[in-house]
Amino acid sequence: MSKKFTSSLWFKLFFSFLAVFAVSVSISSYLSYRTAKENLTERIKSDVRQIAEAKEGSLLDFISQSGKRVVDFSSDGFIRDSAAKIVAGENGGVAGDLNRHLNKNKMSLDPTIFGINVTDLNGRIIASTMESELGRDESKDDYFVEAKQLAYGQSYAGDVMFSHHFNKDVPHFAVLAPLTEKETGEKLGFIINYIDGDELTIILNGSPRPLERDEKTDTDIYLVNKDGLLISKVGTLKNGVLKQIVDSEPVMKCKSGEEMSDVYYAGWRGMSVIGASKCLANGWTLLAEIDNDTAFAGLSNIGIQVLFSSLLLLVVVTSFVFFLIRGIVKPVNLLSEVTKRIAAGDLSQKVKVRTKDEIGELADSFQTMTQKLLEKEMLLRVHRYRDRVSHELTSEVISQLELVGIEKTKGEFISIASHQLRTPLTSMKWLSDLILGGYAGSLTEEQKELIMGIRESNERLIALVRDLLSTSRLEGGRLELNLKETELLSFLQQIIDELAPQIQKRRHELIFEKPAALPRIRVDQELTKHTFLNLLTNAIRYTKPGGKIVVSVNEDAAKGRVTVAIKDNGIGIPESFQKEIFERFARTQEAIQMEPDGTGLGVYIAKKAVEAQGGAIWFESKTGVGTTFYFSLPIKL
């Protein structure tokens, strides 16, 4: 009984000390981590704001210099006099001389200019650095309309546009200034310098091209015009100029001249970012953004350091508490042993406890009591005392701790394994691209085929890891919806454009049936993209070459839902398998024979993604005829 009491007391004291310390360390670690995160956040906000301000200065300087350049050209006496003669009908070779003058003496002054035109007041090109430009009518172009209000010495820079000038179908913008008669100041026409749109990307990012998929940058810096269209290359988006719509919060606020900084919002990829915006006088919005994952990547190291320090401190304190409690429990154990002997009738026992604390006082009191009992030889009182002590000891409940084993869920294992696989797979892809690019020397055709085989297998593994991670997030209860107001038709069109190479490769005909009008809805864009991308990819894969795919969107206003249908004339789903189609890794034998490398997770992920947003998914299918998948989403305004 004495040993049970001692054991119980030891555990209570030990784990009480340990619990108090663990809570204290946890709170301290959390506060340290939060402080580190707040400091890092402030530094990132400051960096992004400074980048935006610096790039704004460079951009404005470039536009100003381009304006000064065209104004300088407009004051050229030869250009002005030649334009006056051509406008007056006194050609006689003047136009040819002016064309040569522009090519030889003006184009060479500024490498950012890829062409120069001179027009009359009606917008007709009367001289150019390229003969095929002569006679074109520029009167309806926005920049020409705006430039009509300019006086001598003023210039105007237009918006980025696609127009076929100088046999180049590339994004560009025009900078122009009026030509005036020297004596009277009367306007003769305009001189227009055409600037390659890649110059904007070079100013912002130091390169005229977007990043490749295996490259990385911390900050996205790009321009959006007053219509919300991307006008500089950004990230890994190769063909986004004047095609990618950016309707983020900073772009919307810039329409009223309100700049933003030190804020979180959804960037051009729909991901949460820390960014800053600058509103330019011509209606452009300059944005500098860094996504949260990249911004706070260093926090994991801080977290590991805090955790290691806490564990080390826990080990040290645990050792100290162990010896401290042992010093407390040992005299208690001695008292227990003496009590046991006294209870057996041996009143001659003495307690040898030399501590000067409360336990020492208890031992002294106990010894005094024993002496009194011995002196009075009151057997009855001894028996009562022994009975009382015995009763207290036998009535005490001994608590024991049970260790509850925590089973790691399958979803957590998949998530961890997938995260660990993603890094080496990405490295393998990068290395294979380097080898194919000739970094390690030239390859034979046979060697190239082998490396391409490795790369294709690696791509399939990356796709599998991506699907496993999506499955883990959808099943693990860690998903937080990021609802965003979305123009669904353009959103789906962007996904269709991404899959255009696959559709063309298989020679499919794809028809997108759009309603006349469709309300904007609030959806989680990442989950909705997963759903549509997986279903449309399946339609492409499991339809024989030369097939037909129809994508349609309909609104059910009464039910407050929008339904998207993807119909194909592919291999179909056997009736015996249709009940299993929404299960994980479900694949028919026909699908396996047609596409051996599929994962069987696409439809499962689509179902989970739709249901997570309060929607529904279903299908109709007949073997050899085709399949139609439907998914509906609620209209949330």
Instruction: Determine, yes or no, domain membership for 264.
Output: yes
The CATH number given to whatever domain includes residue 599 is: 3.30.565.10
Strand-pairing partners, residue 633, are 562
pLDDT attached to residue 312 = 78
Kindly state whether residue 263 falls inside one of the protein's structural domains. yes
State the pLDDT at residue 233: 86
The reply to whether 127 and 240 lie within a common domain is no
Claim to verify: residue 498 and residue 542 sit in the same structural domain? yes
User: Three-class SS of residue 116?
Assistant: strand
Question: In this structure, what DSSP letter does residue 145 have?
Answer: H
Identify the CA nearest to 185 among candidates 150, 152, 148, 144.
152
Final residue before a domain boundary, out of 475, 501, 526 = 475
Tell the burial category of 310 from Cβ atoms under 10 Å away from its Cβ (0-12, 13-18, 19+): middle
Cα-Cα-Cα-Cα dihedral sign, residues 462, 463, 465, 466: positive
Task: Supply the pLDDT for residue 382.
Answer: 35
For residues 634 and 555, give the distance between their C-alpha atoms in angstroms, rounded to a whole number.
10
234 plus 162 within the same structural domain: no
On whether both 471 and 582 belong to a single domain, the answer is: no
Sign, Cα dihedral of 599, 600, 603, 605: negative
Phi and psi torsions of 444, nearest 5°: -80, 165
SS3 for 265-315, per residue?
EECCCCCEEEEEEEECCCCCEEEEEEEHHHHCCCHHHHHHHHHHHHHHHHH
Picking from 148, 177, 196, the residue at the C-terminal end of a domain is 196
511 φ, ψ (degrees, to nearest 5): -115, 130
The first and second tokens of residue 534, run together, are: 């997986």
Q: Are residues 626 and 491 in the same domain?
A: yes
Show the CA angle centred on residue 459, arms to residues 454 and 464, nearest 5°. 125
Q: Enumerate the β-bridge partners of residue 110.
A: none
- 305 is a domain residue: no
Cα 506 to Cα 197: distance, rounded to the nearest angstrom: 34
| Low-confidence residues of the chain: pLDDT under 70 | 1-15, 17-18, 21, 25, 91, 209-217, 236, 262-263, 298-303, 306, 308, 323, 325-336, 338, 343-367, 370-432, 434, 436-441, 452-453, 455-479, 596-598, 637
Please check whether residue 404 lies inside any domain of the structure: no
Domain assignment present for 527: yes
**449 and 487, same structural domain?**
no
Q: Are residues 174 and 223 in the same domain?
A: no
Domain range enclosing 221: 201-295
CA atoms of 219 and 55, how far apart (whole Å): 12
Are 221 and 287 in contact by the 8 Å Cβ rule? The answer is yes
As a whole number of angstroms, the distance between CA 539 and CA 506 comes to: 11
How much is the pTM? 0.47
Q: What pLDDT is stored for residue 177 in this prediction?
A: 94
Structure confidence at residue 228 (pLDDT): 87
Domain boundary among 279, 295, 311: 295
Q: Nearest CA to 550 among 514, 504, 593, 577?
A: 514
Q: What is the pLDDT of residue 407?
A: 34
pLDDT 10s digits, 483-515: 899 999 999 999 999 999 999 999 999 999 999
Angle (nearest 5°) at CA 290 between 285 and 296: 155
In a domain, 576, yes or no: yes
Look up the CATH number of the domain holding residue 134: 3.30.450.20
CATH of the domain at 248: 3.30.450
Question: pLDDT value at position 179?
Answer: 93
Same domain? 256 vs 231:
yes
Q: How many domains does the chain have?
A: 4
Cβ atoms of 143 and 156 closer than 8 Å: yes
**Structural element, H or E, at residue 474:** helix 445-475
C-alpha distance from residue 207 to each of 196, 232, 235, 368 (Å): 13, 11, 11, 92
Report yes or no on 445 lying in a domain: yes
Note the pLDDT of residue 527.
87
List, for residues 535-563, the tens digit of each pLDDT value: 998 889 889 999 999 999 998 888 889 99
Task: Write down the pLDDT at residue 45.
Answer: 83
